[in-house]
């Protein structure tokens, strides 16, 4: 079934996007791997199975141009994998409006615009698969990661709506929810956290405890980008893919737990995990 399928993947400069491009090519897909800077794709450009293109997911013109490019080159788009994304950290009060908007532009609006760009072609063909790479954070909110979690929650909501809307046209919508994955994504997140630890303010002490926990307890049960990529491609190849795939131990544990426990119990668990005290003494 996979042989000859045409797949467009975002966020291929590193991490899950790159691993998915390589896994799909290994299985016989014709892969169009994209990233904001096409130079970052030099190592995976392996014609004819992997073709690369520059795509900034915050640029609507570039999004529609990318869909048109793939259609012109291959004649169809069988699958879209929205893997581009990053995590912005900080207390809700201290994240600027510009930082909130930038987070949603990449993680949410970029994915929605790409889905809108490929859907006309998939509807006409009466087949296609759209994979939204979400996160455990799309179902379980982590304090000090509200921008990231909120963008992924929104992506999950859109996916649930789109799954029903697109089904009559033969288009499947799948959400993949990884737990922690050690990639350059994590490295970028740590760089974004560093200024928070140095910034004076009411949350400074809380950031230090949370950062230590994120590099410790929250990384246990993590997995690899390659493991997530195998799940993504399996879903595309499946005759009847599931609506959601939870990848690695933390996702499989935390998501069901969050639905079982009362909110106060989840809050207490998060406070303990992130070393957040009940009260701050002046």
Residues catalogued as catalytic? 148
Q: How far apart are CA 203 and CA 212, in angstroms?
A: 15
Contacts 24+ apart (CB under 8 A), 152-155: 152/107, 154/104, 154/108, 155/107, 155/108, 155/111, 155/112
Which residues pair with residue 8 across a beta bridge? 32, 80
4: left (phi over 0), alpha (psi -120 to 50) or beta: left
The number of residues making up the chain comes to 282
C-alpha separations of 232 from 8, 83, 178, 279 in Å: 13, 10, 11, 43
Round to whole Å and give the CA distance between 39 and 68: 21
CA distance 245 to 4: 24
Q: What count of other Cβ atoms lies within 10 Å of the Cβ of residue 117?
A: 21
The packing angle between helices 110-125 and 146-166, to 10°, is 10
141 phi, psi to nearest 5 deg = -80, 130
């Amino acid at each position: 079934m996979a042989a000859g399928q045409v797949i467009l993947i975002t966020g291929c400069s590193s991490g899950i996007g790159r691993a998915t491009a390589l896994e799909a090519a290994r299985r016989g897909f014709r892969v169009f791997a994209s990233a904001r800077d096409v130079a970052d794709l030099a190592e995976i450009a392996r014609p004819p199975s992997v073709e690369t293109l520059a795509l900034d997911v915050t640029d609507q013109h570039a999004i529609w141009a990318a869909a048109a490019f793939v259609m012109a080159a291959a004649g169809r788009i069988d699958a879209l994998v929205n893997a581009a994304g990053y995590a912005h950290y900080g207390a809700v009060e201290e994240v600027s409006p510009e930082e909130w908007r930038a987070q949603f532009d990449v993680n949410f609006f970029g994915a929605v615009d790409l889905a809108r760009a490929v859907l006309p072609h998939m509807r006409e063909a009466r087949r296609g698969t759209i994979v939204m790479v979400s996160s455990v954070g799309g179902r379980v909110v982590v304090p000090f990661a509200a921008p990231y979690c909120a963008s992924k929650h929104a992506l999950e909501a859109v996916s649930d709506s789109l799954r029903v809307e697109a089904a009559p046209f033969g288009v499947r919508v799948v959400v993949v929810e990884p737990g922690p994955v050690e990639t350059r994504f994590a490295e970028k997140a740590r760089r974004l956290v560093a200024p928070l630890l140095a910034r004076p303010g009411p949350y400074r002490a809380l950031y230090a405890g949370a950062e230590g926990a994120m590099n410790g307890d929250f990384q246990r049960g993590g997995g690899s980008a390659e493991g997530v990529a195998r799940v993504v491609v399996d879903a595309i190849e499946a005759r009847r893919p599931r609506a959601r795939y939870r990848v690695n131990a933390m996702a499989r544990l935390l998501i069901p737990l969050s639905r079982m426990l009362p909110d106060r119990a989840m809050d207490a668990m998060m406070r303990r995990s992130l070393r957040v005290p009940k009260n701050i003494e002046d």
